[in-house]
Structure 1
Amino acid sequence: MKHLVRIMMAAGLLAVAACSAQADTPPKDLKATLTKKLGRPVDAVNSTPVKGIYEVVMGKRQIIYTDAKGDYAFVGEMIDVAKKESITEKRIAALMTTDFAKLPLADAVKIVRGDGSRKLAVFTDPDCPFCKRLEQQSLVGIDNVTIYNFLMPLPGLHPDAVRKSAMIWCSKDQSASWRNWFFEGKLPDNSPECDNPVQRNMTLGESLGISGTPALIFANGQIVSGAIPREQIETLLGAK
């Protein structure tokens, strides 16, 4: 990318100018121009609150910005100074969605609490410390929810996570094995050799743009990364 210029827009020109001009429609050929110049597929080109600057969506959820000719690309955050909020962050959150009803829930370890009326899917790695924090802190006390835990090991970070994921899945009591591992550090006494969805879950996570764990998917389709606080989970469980 010959013309790629990296700046932090929170401290730069775009941050200062955000919402200072009316948005305009991107040039019709800008998407094709950027695809050729960047050498990468461009999913969409959208207007921004800054005249002459356009949002470029790549890889489904990566956002950069460009000028009208596609000569320069800006990497960073666009800030609405008056509102003191990140336009980029809000747009990424809006892009991080999926259809909950289409998730292959049969490939997840199902845990029902209370009446199980609320729904939550969690992509997790058994060796991820943040996944353990989510289990041991954030999810504690949350009731009346059905949690679908998709075992998605990250072998590049945790080489033994694939084996542990398979062992939990292959156990006679998956939910008990899940709790024993995340709260007691005890794996089930069984082989990891069985028909399991671990590889499918890894592929699914990648297709959803999930590159780290934990990642939570709420019933409205919103995807949120990280061991977020219990209060935020409760709010999102009720979101429409």
Structure 2
Amino acid sequence: MTTKEKFRVGASISAIGAGVVGTVIVLSAAQAESETTLPDSVEQALEQAVPQAEPDAVQPAPIDGFYEARFGNNVLYIDELGEHLIQGQIMEIATGKNLTDQVLQGERKRALEQLEQHELATYAPEGEPKGRITVFTDPNCPYCREFHEEVPKYQAAGIEVRYAMFPVIGAESPEIMDAIWCSSDQNTAMDRAKAGDSVEPQNEGCSTPREQHMELGQAMGVRGTPAILFDNGEKIDGYRPVGEVIEMKGAGES
């Protein structure tokens, strides 16, 4: 990575902490049943470490002697003797790939498909889009504003930018977001908000998908803004320059 990642954390929403499950949001419509035959030691370790929830899937981990258990957007690793539990990410040194994130990518892809196009603020390119990104954003996030300044460059490259609501910075952020979504011209309202100008709600009694977007974002592991997702489930946490985003795998996939 040649450019330092900029990442503003709005709130900590990790579902699993210190080996204990709090609220787990399952992305898939139904829990996946693992076909892996688990050693009794692994089953017992999971029951002891995470008694409040059933894993969505358990399978051999990409490192020998360990199993991986997925709980919504969280992955835990248990050694085959059931003596050690690891919460973290596995990186493949040779390729630089995040093997833990690959487990979750398919779930994020399915979650993105739940978003309704008419419930998003969309900046479409001229002509047929060559690709699409979905961005969870906050009106008060400085790096979101930096990203927004580059939206015309995405459009010029044929990339459609879809905004989802994730107001976590400042007590007034939810109200500003609602005003944008309830505007007769969402893009103009978004432009004003990103420039730091006030946005007044135009439609009384208007309802917005804010809570649904927040819940879905949390389920996909969004912990701050901006969070950029490709249709294939790849996720970028934080701001990256437009050139880097377009070059990344998945940016050209529709």
TM range (shorter): 0.7 to 0.9
Render the CA deviation track for 1:190-219: whole Å, top value 9, x for unaligned.
468532322232233234343322222323
TM normalised by structure 1 equals 0.73
Change (3 A) 1:228 1:29: farther
Structure 1 runs not aligned, ≥5 long = 5-24
Q: Which amino acid aligns with 1:107?
A: E
**Structure 1 residues 225 and 167, CA, compared in 2 at 3 Å: closer, same or farther?**
same
User: Which amino acid in 2 is paired with 1:133?
Assistant: E
Pick which of 216-225 and 82-91 moved more: 82-91
| Counterpart position of 1:113 | 125
- The alignment yields a C-alpha RMSD, in angstroms, of 3.1
Structure 1 residue aligned with 2:56: 43
Partner of 2:177: 165
Give the AA of the match of 1:122: V
Q: Give 1:170 shift.
A: 2.0
C-alpha separation in 2, matches of 1:53 and 1:151 = 38
Deviations 1:149-190 (A, max 9, x none): 112212xx42110111111122232111111221x2112244
1:132 aligns with one of 122, 131, 145: 145
Q: Report the CA distance between 1:45 and its aligned residue.
A: 2.0
1:152 to 157, 166, 184: 166
Quote the Cα distance in structure 1 between the aligned partners of 2:94 and 2:42.
30
**Cα separation, 2, equivalents of 1:113 and 1:231:** 16
8 A contact 1:121–1:148 mirrored in 2 = yes
Residues matched between the structures, number: 214
- After the TM superposition, which residues 192-231 of structure 1 pair with which residues of structure 2 at under 5 Å, given as runs? 193-197=204-208, 198-231=210-243
Query: CA, structure 1 residues 30+206, in 2 after alignment: closer, same or farther (shift >3 Å)?
Result: farther
SS of 2:212's equivalent? helix
Match of 2:116 in 1: 104
Gaps of 5+ in 2: 1-15, 20-35
Structure scoring higher RCO (CA < 8 A, sep ≥ 6) equals 2
- CA shift, 1:238, in A, is 0.9
**Structure 1 residue ranges (4+ consecutive) displaced by more than 6 angstroms after TM superposition:** none
Q: Aligned partner of 2:83: which letter?
A: D
Alignment-mate amino acid for residue 204 of structure 1: L
Alignment partners' CA distance in 2, 1:133 and 1:52: 45
Offset at residue 107 of structure 1 (A): 1.3
Identity of aligned pairs, percent?
22
* Structure 1 position 62, deviation (Å): 1.9
2:120 is matched by which residue type in structure 1?
A
DSSP-derived class of the 1:172 partner: coil
